[in-house]
């Protein structure tokens, strides 16, 4: 039986400080003081809650998934309702919610490690409160005052939860095919349609669930330009009580992972029609929903990071206690003594902290984009956030699959049986590259919108920062960090040149699609190295500390074992992308 999840609080502190410094958040008035005052109690308290309340339910939720009871709605696994009640009572639901809506108003940077902890301890549970973050931002940015006042405080406190309803049976990633209809009815609208794959679409943790639903109005144009966003509560607050709405869960999916998280087929308006209220303006629903989706994409990256950390913990513990083979003297030894096991563990360790530092940096950029006094600082941070969001979502979630897979390999046959938690982590991690827009969509977004659209300006700024971090490392070829320095400088130059060459090419139908995946992973590997350069430079300032020596050694490992992956991505973009456009579909 595996031990409980243990949050890596010391590494989280380092990543927090690094992200605040790198993003410029530390100079925002009151920001540094807030972090100094509350970071320690928040991290320590969240670590206890994750270990005591969430981690023990993780394996149970996998074995006894959420299920639909006829006439009674969705029932979550034993212990989940009590855990959520404590979650609310301890104040975790309101951590980053706006203070004016009853939340604590803490920075998103501080919420990032807490989100990582929830996912590392129990991803299925973590997905439920994460939806509230984006919901509150949608309400703040687009909802009329009466909706904001009625729903935001209850979502902020965790009294009610939120759900995001986009996908339909015929409309997966292509939202232009959405058929759910909304017709005006007095001061509200009546919605009718089906939504599939709705995470936490129904459950027994709270009395109410606030759905954010994309639908079409009667005169809406075709395609995504005809989508509007509606707030559709499971129960309508009226006359001091909650009245049922015409919404129901028809089924709960049986999934390969995150089994405790109810993924529902939702029916809107099988009777008189589900009452809903417009958010934003008619036909501008997709723009409103992207406010929520971008928050969720950062959340997917942080959730994937939490799974990666837990996989590393399990694999490292197993490698230290599993005896297999003998040393030169004939004495038996634990498998961590084998070079290839050390390679796998170090790969996991190097990738996990690179993902952590990068995801926290995106969270800090979000804070700066909202809190900086100078408009120019907010705009600069927003451009950085736009560039990092698809990277954090896709690179961190793909990394989680790789790390979890390595964790299974370290366990050997023991990792392939359901009795092992690492097998659950591998299954759970696989949803990350699919959630909130597949990673191919993220890669296209990165290259087409975040790089091509501004002629590479945001990318050049990031590459300049990477070069600056690299040049701060030692130039001495005998120093363990020299290779990291040289690799980063070379890769930043090569990526910049390749991006410029791509933008200079005549328009080609499959250029973006064929190059996007490898471009994203090239930038991801490079950005991870950037974070290791910053981490190693900080560690050099306290060379006597054992943790500093470990960090420097891992940074050197990243340079030798991870950064060379960039050569593959460059080669495919320059010489292999045409192969994707050449064969007709029937030849594949």
The residues near 373 (Cβ < 8 Å, ≥ 6 apart) are 28, 29
Report the SS3 class of residue 224.
helix
Q: What is the DSSP string of 174-223?
A: -GGG---EEEEETTEEEEEEEEEEEETSS-SSSS-EEEEEEEE-TTPPSS
For the CA atoms of 376, 382, 387, 392, what is the dihedral angle to 10 degrees?
140
d(CA 129, CA 162): 8
> Can you tell me the distance from the alpha carbon of 116 to that of 309, in angstroms, rounded to the nearest whole number?
9
Catalytic hit among 116, 421, 436, 491: 436
> Each residue of 470-501: b (16+ CB within 10 Å) or e?
beebeeeeeebbbbbbbbbeebbebbbebbee
Measured at the CA of 279, the angle between CA 277 and CA 282, to 5 degrees, comes to 95
The CA dihedral of 261, 265, 267, 268, to the nearest 10 degrees, is: 60
Other beta carbons less than 10 A from residue 560's beta carbon: 14
CA of 588: how far to CAs of 444, 573, 584, in Å?
Answer: 22, 20, 7
What is the rounded CA–CA span in Å between residue 451 and residue 457?
7
Known catalytic residue at 436: yes
Backbone region of residue 189 per phi and psi (left: phi > 0; alpha: psi in -120 to 50; beta: other values): beta
Q: What is the 3-state secondary structure (H, E, C) of 137-168?
A: HHHHHHCCHHHHHHHHHHHHHCCCEEEEECCE
SS (H, E, C) 365-405: HHHHHHHCCCHHHHHHHHHHHHHHHHHHHHHHHHHHHHHHH
Residues belonging to the active site: 436
């Amino acid at each position: 039986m595996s031990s409980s999840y243990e949050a890596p609080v010391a590494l989280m502190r380092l990543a927090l400080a690094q992200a605040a410094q790198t993003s410029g958040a530390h100079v925002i008035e009151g920001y540094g003081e807030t972090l100094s005052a509350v970071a320690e109690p928040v991290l320590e308290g969240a670590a206890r809650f994750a270990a005591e309340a969430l981690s023990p339910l993780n394996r149970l939720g996998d074995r006894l998934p959420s299920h639909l009871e006829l006439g009674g709605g969705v029932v979550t696994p034993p212990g989940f309702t009590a855990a959520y009640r404590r979650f609310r009572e301890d104040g975790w639901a309101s951590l980053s919610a706006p203070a004016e809506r009853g939340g604590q108003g803490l920075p998103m940077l501080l919420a990032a490690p807490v989100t990582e902890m929830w996912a590392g301890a129990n991803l299925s549970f973590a997905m439920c409160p994460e939806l509230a973050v984006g919901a509150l931002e949608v309400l703040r940015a687009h909802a009329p005052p009466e909706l904001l006042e009625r729903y935001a405080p209850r979502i902020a406190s965790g009294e009610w939860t939120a759900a995001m309803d986009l996908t339909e049976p015929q409309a997966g990633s292509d939202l232009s095919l959405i058929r759910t209809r909304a017709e005006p009815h007095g001061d509200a609208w009546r919605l009718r349609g089906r939504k599939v794959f709705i995470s936490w679409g129904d459950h027994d943790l709270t009395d109410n669930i606030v759905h954010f639903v994309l639908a079409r109005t009667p005169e809406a144009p075709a395609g995504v330009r005809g989508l509007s966003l509606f707030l559709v509560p499971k129960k309508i607050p009226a006359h001091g009580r909650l009245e049922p709405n015409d919404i129901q869960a028809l089924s709960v999916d049986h999934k390969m992972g995150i089994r405790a998280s109810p993924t529902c087929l939702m029916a809107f308006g099988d009777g008189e029609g589900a009452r809903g209220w417009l958010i934003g303006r008619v036909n501008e629903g997709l723009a409103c929903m992207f406010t929520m989706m971008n928050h969720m994409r950062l959340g997917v990256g942080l959730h994937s990071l939490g799974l990666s950390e837990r996989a590393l913990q399990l694999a490292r513990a197993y490698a230290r206690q599993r005896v297999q083979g003998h040393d030169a003297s004939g004495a038996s030894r634990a498998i961590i003594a084998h070079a290839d096991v050390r390679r796998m563990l170090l790969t996991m360790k190097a990738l996990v902290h690179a993902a952590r530092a990068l995801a926290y940096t995106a969270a800090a950029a979000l804070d700066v984009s909202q809190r900086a006094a100078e408009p120019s600082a907010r705009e600069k941070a927003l451009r950085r956030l736009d560039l990092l969001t698809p990277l954090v979502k896709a690179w961190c979630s793909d990394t989680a699959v790789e790390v979890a897979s390595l964790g299974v390999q370290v366990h050997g046959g023991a990792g392939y049986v359901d009795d092992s938690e690492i097998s659950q982590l591998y299954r759970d991690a696989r949803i990350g590259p699919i959630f909130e827009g597949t990673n191919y969509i993220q890669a296209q977004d990165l290259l087409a919108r975040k790089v091509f659209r501004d002629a590479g300006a945001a990318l050049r700024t990031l590459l300049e920062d990477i070069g600056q971090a690299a040049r701060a490392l030692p130039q001495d070829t005998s120093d363990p960090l020299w290779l990291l320095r040289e690799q980063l400088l070379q890769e930043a130059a090569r990526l910049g040149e390749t991006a410029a060459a791509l933008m200079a090419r005549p328009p080609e139908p499959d250029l973006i699609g064929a190059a996007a995946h490898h471009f994203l992973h090239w930038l991801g590997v490079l950005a991870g190295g950037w974070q290791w350069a910053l981490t190693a430079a900080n560690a050099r300032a306290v060379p006597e500390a054992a943790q500093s020596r470990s960090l420097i050694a891992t940074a050197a490992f990243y340079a030798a074992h991870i950064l060379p992956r960039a050569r593959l991505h460059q080669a495919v973009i320059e010489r292999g992308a045409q192969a994707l456009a050449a064969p007709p579909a029937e030849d594949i």
